[in-house]
Structure 1
Amino acid sequence: MPCLKILTNVPTAKIPVDFCKKITPIMVETVKKETEHMMCVISGDCQVSFGGDSSAPAAVATLESIGNLGVEENKYIVKELANFMHKEIGVTPDRFFISFYDIRGYNVGRFGITFDNL
């Protein structure tokens, strides 16, 4: 169950209400998981600084997934997400930072069980 978490200094009022709905198809395409398994959280109005500059739009993100991450996959994912962030909320690729976490099923739970039991 991929989970994308984004913290940004973009004002919440300037983040489209359907931001997570719009980014889901990109996650489906890049992470290669089904729509119903995708999760996205975005939080605006955060204090984010790149090199001491907190005035320009910026974002820090994490993407956790059970598999489908790796050297080549992550290059593709970051490119597509950075382009989307620029188009949707004005965060340029040089002010978008993402960390990838390829996690094991026993470290993720839903439905009262861990994913290694599903």
Structure 2
Amino acid sequence: MPFVELRTNLPAGVFSPDVLKKLSCSVAETLQKPEDRMNVVVSPGLPMLIAGSSSPCVMLSVSAISVTDSADKNKVHSNKIFEFLTKELGLTEDRIVIQFHALEPHQVGKKGTVMSFL
């Protein structure tokens, strides 16, 4: 059950339902998780700086169970996600930052319980 949070200073109009769906599908494929388990939120139009510049940028947070728990895995994920974001949003790699968070099943609640029991 991955969680993807994209924060950006790009305007909301950039993020049509089609772009959101593509983002969800791309990250699901990257993490090898079913797309129907993805949780995606985009917060556009934020005042932001990356490397001291307010040029268009993205900060992406990816949290997931068992697939973001090593440098080797996250290197592969990072490469694929950067490829998607640079192509889809027209940003250069220096304007994108990704954070990976490893979750344990007991840290994710669903259906009145936690993933450990589902």
TM-score, with structure 1 as normaliser: 0.91
Report 1:63-102 matches (<5 A): 63-69=62-68, 70-102=70-102
How many percent identity over aligned positions?
28
Residues paired across the two proteins, number: 117
**What is the distance in 1 between the residues matched to 2:52 and 2:5?**
22
Q: Deviations over 1:91-118 (max 9, x none)?
A: 2211111111111111110111111111
State the Cα distance separating 1:45 from its structure 2 match. 0.1
**What is the distance in 2 between the residues matched to 1:39 and 1:73?**
20
RMSD of aligned C-alpha atoms? Answer: 1.3
**What is the distance in 2 between the residues matched to 1:73 and 1:19?**
25
State the Cα distance separating 1:16 from its structure 2 match. 2.7
**What is the distance in 1 between the residues matched to 2:90 and 2:16?**
12
In the alignment, what sits opposite 1:116? 116
In the alignment, what sits opposite 1:61? 60
Report 1:11-90 matches (<5 A): 11-54=11-54, 56-69=55-68, 70-90=70-90
| One-letter amino acid of the counterpart of residue 104, structure 1 | E
Q: Is the contact between residue 63 and residue 98 of structure 1 (CA under 8 Å) also seen in structure 2? A: yes
TM-score, with structure 2 as normaliser: 0.91
State the Cα distance separating 1:24 from its structure 2 match. 2.3
- More moved, 30-39 vs 58-67: 30-39
Specify the SS of the correspondent of 2:100. Answer: strand
Q: Deviations over 1:42-99 (max 9, x none)?
A: 1110111112210x21011110001112212211111111121112222221111111
